[in-house]
Amino acid sequence: MKWLNGQTVQMFLWIGPFFNGQMATNALTKGWTLASAGQKPAKENYPLVDFTNPEAKKYWQDGVAKLLKLGVAGFKMDRSEENIPENGSDKVFDGRSVRENRNAYPVMYLQAAYDVARECRSNDDFVCMPRAAYTGSSAHGVFWGGDIAGTEYGLRAEIIAVQRAAVMVIPTGARTPAATASNRRTRKSVAAGSHSVASRPSWKSARRRTGRSGTFTPRQAMTLS
């Protein structure tokens, strides 16, 4: 990490709002997760942290702090809008209903990371870049729009999303989709559209145009794979 920093390269890591491994076992035992508020076991996003519980938040932040102390300068904060309990009579630690916790959750997740980063990185020399946002999120991070389809429909969705973000004063940017297996499957949607054979745009053309449109946004993510 120090060698990278010496090359003016900053490490930016992917994280999520859940526990893994022994931390997950410990948190579940102590009731520090949304499993106590109705979240069902799943292969991903489980168990989600109950950020309304100060002990649970601190336990998660301690794990993040270890990365920051190694020299990590920022986080791509995925999830926080998936697999969250939102119906029923269950309540989270601070007494609010799971329905009330639903939209507040992405904000609490972002602020938890932001606060620990401020403690570990001097002069606010860090960045938090979440995927999900709600009222209050823009004070703590910049945003990415998640994975988009590598088709003209994905490009359309991205342009609309960036315009909406601008109206909401949320700093965001475009994402150029990679030629991953999932995006290769989306090429079928181009062929399945209403275009005639002669007028169908290729998925490569859609990706090129997405890249160009991204240059007009505050931040552009280029995915290579």
Domain 2-141 - what CATH class?
A: alpha beta
Average pLDDT over residues 69-91: 94
CA 31 – CA 56 distance, rounded (Å): 8
What pLDDT is recorded for position 223? 57
How is the chain split into domains, by residue range?
2-141, 152-222
Average pLDDT over residues 93-120: 97
CA 116 – CA 113 distance, rounded (Å): 5
What pLDDT is recorded for position 188? 52
- Edge-first strand order for the sheet with 143-144 is 143-144, 172-176, 219-222
The residue with greater pLDDT, 167 or 202, is 167
Highest mean pLDDT (candidates 42-51, 140-149, 175-184, 216-225): 42-51
What pLDDT is recorded for position 161? 80
CA 19 – CA 28 distance, rounded (Å): 9
What pLDDT is recorded for position 153? 79
- pLDDT at residue 19 is higher than 90: yes
Residues across the chain: 225
Average pLDDT, the chain: 83
CA 116 – CA 43 distance, rounded (Å): 27
What pLDDT is recorded for position 202? 66
**pLDDT classification of 122: cutoffs 50, 70, 90:** confident
Flag whether the pTM goes above 0.85. Answer: no
Q: Mind listing the pLDDT tens digit for each residue in 21-64? A: 999 999 999 999 999 999 999 999 999 999 999 999 999 999 99
What pLDDT is recorded for position 39? 97
Q: Mind listing the pLDDT tens digit for each residue in 175-204? A: 655 444 345 544 454 444 444 444 455 667
